[in-house]
Structure 1
C-alpha cells in the first residue's frame, strides 16, 4: 500500500529532477563569459574561517582570471593552454599545462566545455534561501575535490561550495556578475615580471 502511494510522488520527482538538471546545463552552456567579484571562505576543521576576496573573469572554454586582493594579493590565470599562479609577495610564478587538470577541477564547471556529465555525476539538491543547489561529483578518482555544489538563482550561478578530500569546505559567493559581455583578451594573458622566479610543473 505504501509503495502504491509513493509511486505517483516518485514518478513526479523524476521529471522534476530532469527539469532541474536541464536548467543547470542550459545556464552553463549558454554562458560564454562571466565577470564580477567573489568572496571566498575556507572553513577548516577546528579552525577559524579564513576569508579572502577579489575579482574574477571567465571566458569559455578554458580561459579564466582569479585575482585575490585581500587579505593578500595572488593571481591565477588560465590562458587555454597553461595555468599561471603568481604570488607577488614571494616574487614567484608557477606555471603548468592545463591538460586534463581543468576537467577534474571546479574551474571545469565554469570555464570548461559543456561535457558536464562526462566529467561529473550531477544531482539536484534541495533549495535553500531561494537558491537552487546542485551536486557535482568528479568521475575521476584523483580529482582535488570530492564534491562541488553549485547554487543558482534565476538561472545564474551565485554560489559554490567545494569539499576537498580532507573534508575542508570552501564557500564562494559571486557578486556584481556580468554575463556574456565582451572581455578584454589581455585579462587571460600573463607575463612574469622581471626578477620573478618561474617554476614549471
Structure 2
C-alpha cells in the first residue's frame, strides 16, 4: 500500500497527573505564540501513524524532518516507502522516487494550512486563523487548534510540548481519521544548511505543476 498524501504531509507518554482545565481561547493562542516565536529551526526523527475513527492503525512510516522559519521545511519518509516533501518558502514539492514523479505547487494560503507549514510560518497567524485552547498534564502541555476556515486538510490539530519542546502532533480530518506523529532526537535552533530546502530531481522525473501540465525536469 502506498503512503497517503496526508501521512506524508508533526513519544514518550508521561505518567498520569492532575489535568489543568483548558484556558480561554485567547490565552491558549497567546501561550502557543510565545512558545513558537523563539523557534527558528527544528530537526527531529519521527514516527507517524494513520488511525481510523476506532483507533485501528491503517498505515505507519518513519523518517526525519528539518524546519526553518519562515516557510521552509523538508519532510523525508524513509520507510516503508521513500517520499520527500520540500518547501523552499515559495513552492512545495512532493517527490515520489518509486513513481519517478514530483508534484509542485505554490506556497499559497491553502497549502499553508498543513501542519508542517503551520509550524514554519508566522506564529501571529495562529490567532487569525485558528481557535486555540490549551491544557496541561505534568510537564506536558497540549494545544488544540481548530481552523476558522473550512478550506483546510484537518478539522483539529493537537500539538504537545514536553518541557516547552514540541514532541507530538495529532491531526484529525472530517472522517475521524487521525494522523499521529511522535518526534524524537529533537534539535531546536541548531544549524540547518539552507540546501536542505532545495531538491535536485533526476532528469527522468515527471514534474506535475498545479496547473496540471507535466514537464521533464
Q: 2:75 aligns with which of 46, 57, 66?
A: 66
Residues of 2 paired with 1:198 and 1:184: CA distance? 25
* Contact 2:28–2:132 under 8 Å retained in 1: no
Cα distance, 1:102 vs structure 2: 3.7
SS at match of 2:99: coil
Alignment-derived partner of residue 101 in structure 2: 92
Cα distance, 1:13 vs structure 2: 6.6
Structure-1-length-normalised TM-score: 0.86
- Alignment map for 1:1-201 (pairs within 5 Å): 21-45=29-53, 48-115=57-124, 116-125=126-135, 127=137, 130-201=139-210
SS at match of 2:155: strand
Residues of 2 paired with 1:194 and 1:89: CA distance? 14
- Once the two structures are overlaid, the 10-residue window that deviates more, 79-88 or 102-111, is 102-111
* Contact 2:143–2:160 under 8 Å retained in 1: yes
Larger radius of gyration: 1
Residues of 1 paired with 2:164 and 2:103: CA distance? 35
* Contact 1:43–1:50 under 8 Å retained in 2: yes
Higher RCO (C-alpha under 8 Å, 6+ residues apart): 2
Residues of 2 paired with 1:142 and 1:17: CA distance? 21
* Contact 2:25–2:132 under 8 Å retained in 1: no
Question: In 2 relative to 1, CA 180–48 (structure 1 residues): closer, same or farther, beyond 3 Å?
Answer: closer
Residues of 2 paired with 1:53 and 1:14: CA distance? 32
Cα distance, 1:191 vs structure 2: 2.4
Runs of at least 4 residues off by over 6 Å: 12-19
Question: In 2 relative to 1, CA 14–120 (structure 1 residues): closer, same or farther, beyond 3 Å?
Answer: closer
- Show structure 2 runs of 5+ residues with no match: 1-19, 211-217
- Show structure 1 runs of 5+ residues with no match: 1-11
Give the structure with the higher percent helix.
Answer: 1
Residues of 1 paired with 2:28 and 2:37: CA distance? 14
Over aligned residues, Cα RMSD in angstroms? 2.2
Cα distance, 1:48 vs structure 2: 3.8
Q: How many residues align?
A: 189
